[in-house]
Chain A
Amino acid sequence: MSAALLAVVLAAAIAVFARRSHARVTLLREARPAPRTEDIIRRARRELVQVLGQRKLFRKAVPGLMHAFIFWGFLVLFPTIVEAMLAIVDEDRTLPIIGQAPWFLFTVDLFAALVVVGVTIAFVIRKVQRPDRFRGSHMQEADRILLTILAIVGSLLLWNASRIALGLSEHPQAQPLSNALSSLFAGGAATEVAERVLVWSHLLIVLAFLTYLPKSKHLHIITAAPNVFFAKNGPSGRLEPQRIDLEAAEEDMRFGVATAEDLSRKQLLDLFSCTECGRCQEVCPAWNTGKPLSPKLLIMDLRDHVVARAAAPSGEVQLQPPLVPNAVTDEVVWDCVTCGACMQECPVDIEHVDTIVDLRRNLVMAESRFPTEAGAMLRGIEGPSENPWGQPSDARTEWIGDLDVRVLQPGDKPPEYLFWVGCAGAFDDRAKKTTQSVARLLNAARVDWAVLGPRERCTGDPARRMGHEYLFQMLAEQNAETFDDAGIVKVVATCAHCFNTLSNEYPDYGAHLEVVHHTELLSHLIGEGRLSPAGAPIGSVTYHDACYLGRHNGRFDAPRDVLAAGGAVAVEMPRNREGSFCCGAGGARMWMEEGGDQRINDTRFAEAEATGAETLAVACPYCFVMLDDAAKGKGSDVRVADIATLLAEATLGEGVSPPRRVPGSTDPWTNLEDSFGRTADS
């Protein structure tokens, strides 16, 4: 009788669950596949560390503990659901082997208690602390979910207590909490009824929760693990290429993501994995300076749109409305600085930036729709001069002045290091100082290096982050050819954006280079004793991590090592290393006007100034321009300077002329050992 009833209830619950999951399952099944299966071992390791180990959740200690208690409790208590079913059929039946084992009984009691503690912490966070990251999240739904979890664990504890009262437990002393609760039950017939009621209640609440999942944000308990598994391997700074072949058949042409149908399977899974915790929102430079973009709201809005479309009655012709502006506004799409802080924080590895760039790709390539002021940058890169500012190519060597610099001519013997100057490094007056400092230091350390001069062109990075994939592709292919022709193997770059795209994205276009950032090379040269900063120490410095050097590529130490070697007294800003706060120029925002209540660069500069450091050290020309503008705008005494310039002053002194290389000299230009560990694992 009980068995039959149980079977009916189970079947009903599974049927409702399946029906309610149908829309999402269909969407996932029909979506564009995202081939994310390479390096399974790494993916499996991520499951262990990030899902089982809850690594990213512990970036916040208390909320992390809260979640871990509930999550681990959920895993450990899973067998008790089976146990409840067995007990429904026959109250004397328990799980084989472990059912009456003292350690198992104790573990259940312990983790049930931990879940109760976890839920309590969650309520304290949500009701007392009320952090801003929950703004825009479904708060009532969260309350409902937490109360249900409490009911599941509460009914389990009470059921176990009633069993102890009935003498059905062989080791009540192993169940301290349940044992204490068992005093609530007098025993006898009334308790026997209570035991039946409790076991059924427990199971029914569990099943009700199951049927509630598919349409709720709590679906993450099913989707999070696969979402982490299918997350991008390798540096987060690499965007998936979207090959544009103008000769291809029209139906094969795809320009980013226009409608819900264009989202890849991983992008959809992202939407179904969001549990609205708002860790992304809390760190987003756009949201923090009063702009409409919040990575969390972006994902929620896309999810709601996609689900609503899927649920719409199917007519003969289903016209999919574009995601922009129907799900998210244009402004939201353009506010993003692609700093990756959201992805860094997201416990379930949602890839916000990649989706935003895909939306941009469609707006730019299919609709020519983007903030007007960025047009000058695109025209500059497209134009004959091939740089964002439209400066003449032959002006690329103007920074050289009377410095001793080899400009590589076609057919020349390749240098050990090609110094990729970059457009900012060649044309922007502030960035030029960095370029000159690097040149002087490389000469002082007797590195065999050269520049491409007028043969250099934009890497295409700003175009790519804007969404102009086609323009980026053209430049990447041309630059790859230049590298190949010149026989270049090693490249040093001062621009974090050039550094990222050359090292992570150019391999997709045939250029396999060993790319180092200038701070890495300088740190290495100091270590080798080839640069000895013996002059006046750098003084008190706070270092601003560039997103595309630090967070996206894991280079945190080299810049700090160089400063330390130069005698700097380092003061960290509250937001540093992978938690750094963007200068505001990434994601091609360098080329757009900024809205919102505050400016991102002013916000970051104020943070630097508050450290009391004399100097704000940067390691990227975009950061340099943004933060220096903020300093000047504020009339601050804090000096903004690139690490290379600070080191050059500490090593060569100001205005000290660098050792000159005499043409034809037999000076041994020793090769540097290749000792740069590639450890980008973020």
Chain B
Amino acid sequence: MGAVWVYAEVTPEGPHPAALELLTKARRIGEDVAAVALGPGAGAAADELGRYGAATVYASEDPVFADHPGRPAAHVLASLTADHAPSLILFAGTYGSRDVAGRLQARTGSTLMANATDVLAPDRARTEIFGGTKIVDVTLAGPEPRLVLVRPKATAAEPSGGTATVVAVAVDVPADARGARIVERHEEAASGPNLDEARVVISGGRGLGGPDAFAMLDELATTVGGAVGASRAAVDAGWVPYAYQIGQTGKTVKPDVYLAVGISGALQHITGMKGAKRIVAINKDADAPIMKIADVGVIGDLFSFIPALTQEVRRRAAS
């Protein structure tokens, strides 16, 4: 059989972590492993790609790959494939690699399999169907090279300690094979609170009575270093955006401490926060369902309790 290749996405900061996972996997499938790295940073990345198992790295520093998405890389890969006839090319399931793999398949007419969770042999891969309830092994038929898009984190990256021979790729991408040009890049600021990682989550519900009271929760969250969430009732009322919503149809959180402020504890909400280590509920109604699952229940007026709590935390932090 022919070589197993890995299409490695690179930036000047280094290779994409998924490339190292794919190389680790490629070593287990075939003897002859190579990586293709295209774009600024390719040369510098070759060392690391070699350390994870690429015996050869086909590299080019040409900026055309950074300036145009997908098409130039597919163009060069197609000619490399024609010259070297690999049996299998692995791609990471990222936006960039998916773009390249699809375009390459259209040019080579070979088999492309998406969303693989494992690659078992040069002509066998594994995937999940029915929302992950069934695992199926798939035989890759059709002409070589077979192309497989592998889900990130399917294999843990392990270095082999090898070194790579770098083969410079001559790049001549004609203007009509470049396609769209990237004119601007900007990073979208994450919207909403960082609920997934917060150790303390302070959630507000209908009991807050309006959007203004959320300022009170923000203040407490800033003081304790936590994030603010909300029940669906508060989101539906339009007090805070959907990104705040915790529950069945919102986020699921598992913080160390969860403060439910003015939340009655409907099933819809409970399913999103029942995994919290400690649940503190503040509610004027002692019969609210939230009290059944709370470790600490405060029956009282949240409008006096929360500012007092914030003050007390500050006092203790200061002393």
Instruction: Write the residues of chain A forming the contact surface with B, with a CB cutoff of 8 angstroms.
Output: 246, 364-365, 368, 373-380, 382, 388-391, 427-430, 468, 470-471, 591-593, 599, 625, 629, 632-633
Contacts and interface: CB of A to CB of B under 8 A. Distances in A.
Contact of A374 (B129, B134, B249, B271): B249
Given A599-B236, A632-B233, A389 B249 contact: no
Contacts of B266: 428-430, 625, 629
A373 B249 contact: yes
Interface string B222-254: 000000000011001100001000001110100
A593 B130 contact: no
Contacts of B237: 633
A389 B130 contact: no
B142 interface: no
B161 interface: no
A399 B283 CA distance: 23
A468 B131 contact: yes
B133 interface: yes
Contact of A382 (B131, B268, B271): B131
A376 B271 contact: yes
Contact of A429 (B134, B233, B289): B289
B233 A428 contact: no
Contacts of A633: 206, 233, 236-237
B267 interface: yes
B134 A246 contact: yes
Interface in B245-293: 248-250, 252, 265-268, 271, 289
Given A365-B130, A429-B289, A591 B206 contact: no
Contacts of A625: 266, 268
Interface string B119-148: 000000000011101100000000000000
Given A389-B271, A632-B206, A632-B233, A471 B248 contact: no
A378 B242 CA distance: 21
Given A427-B267, A593-B242, A632-B233, A389 B248 contact: yes
A376 B249 contact: yes
A592 B248 CA distance: 9
A624 B269 CA distance: 16
Nearest to A370: B131
A364 B132 CA distance: 12
A633 B249 CA distance: 18
B131 A390 contact: no
Given A368-B131, A382-B131, A468-B131, A629 B233 contact: yes
A365 B132 CA distance: 10
Nearest to B270: A389
B251 to A, nearest CB: 9
Contacts of A377: 248
Contacts of B252: 376
29 contacts: A246-B134, A364-B131, A373-B248, A373-B249, A373-B250, A376-B252, A377-B248, A379-B131, A380-B271, A382-B131, A382-B133, A391-B271, A428-B266, A429-B266, A430-B266, A468-B130, A470-B130, A471-B130, A471-B133, A591-B248, A591-B249, A592-B249, A593-B249, A625-B266, A625-B268, A629-B236, A632-B206, A633-B206, A633-B237
Top 9 closest pairs, chain A to chain B, by CB? A373-B249, A428-B267, A429-B289, A389-B271, A470-B130, A376-B248, A593-B249, A427-B267, A389-B267
A121 B38 CA distance: 71
A363 B160 CA distance: 41
Contacts of A373: 248-250
Interface string B94-120: 000000000000000000000000000
Contacts of B248: 373, 376-377, 388-389, 591
Query: Which one of B130, B133, B237, B250 has the greatest number of beta carbons of chain A within 10 Å?
Result: B130
Given A376-B248, A389-B271, A391-B267, 12 more contacts: A365-B129, A365-B130, A368-B131, A374-B249, A379-B131, A380-B271, A389-B267, A428-B267, A470-B130, A471-B133, A591-B249, A633-B206
B194 to A, nearest CB: 18
Interface of B: 129-131, 133-134, 206, 232-233, 236-237, 242, 248-250, 252, 265-268, 271, 289
Nearest to A602: B236
Contacts of B130: 365, 468, 470-471
A428 B134 CA distance: 30
Nearest to B130: A470
Contacts of B131: 364, 368, 375, 378-379, 382, 468, 471
Contacts of B134: 246
Nearest to A632: B206
Nearest to B233: A633
A388 B248 CA distance: 9
A640 to B, nearest CB: 13
Contacts of A468: 130-131
Contacts of A389: 248, 267, 271
Given A368-B131, A429-B266, A390 B271 contact: yes
A592 B237 CA distance: 16
Nearest to B128: A368
A365 B129 CA distance: 8
A119 to B, nearest CB: 48
A59 to B, nearest CB: 34
B237 to A, nearest CB: 6
Among B206, B233, B236, B267, max chain A CB count under 10 A is at B267
Contacts of B242: 593
B290 to A, nearest CB: 10
Contacts of B206: 632-633
B283 to A, nearest CB: 14
A518 to B, nearest CB: 20
A378 B130 CA distance: 10
Contacts of B249: 373-374, 376, 591-593
Nearest to A629: B233
A634 to B, nearest CB: 10
Candidate in B237, B249, B265, B289 with the most chain A CB atoms within 10 angstroms = B249
A373 B245 CA distance: 11
A662 B237 CA distance: 49
Contacts of A591: 248-249
A429 B265 CA distance: 9
B267 to A, nearest CB: 5
Contacts of B133: 382, 470-471
Nearest to A427: B267
Nearest to A375: B131
B229 to A, nearest CB: 15
A428 B271 CA distance: 11
B128 to A, nearest CB: 9
A388 B267 CA distance: 11
Nearest to A591: B249
Nearest to A380: B271
Nearest to B237: A633
A434 to B, nearest CB: 14
Nearest to A430: B266
B317 to A, nearest CB: 36
Contacts of A391: 267, 271
A633 B209 CA distance: 10
Contacts of A364: 131
A591 B248 CA distance: 7
A388 B270 CA distance: 13
A376 B270 CA distance: 13
A633 B268 CA distance: 15
B196 to A, nearest CB: 14
Contacts of A379: 131
Nearest to A371: B249
A576 to B, nearest CB: 26
Contacts of B265: 429
A671 B266 CA distance: 38
A633 B266 CA distance: 13
A429 B236 contact: no
Contacts of B268: 625
A446 B289 CA distance: 31
B240 to A, nearest CB: 14
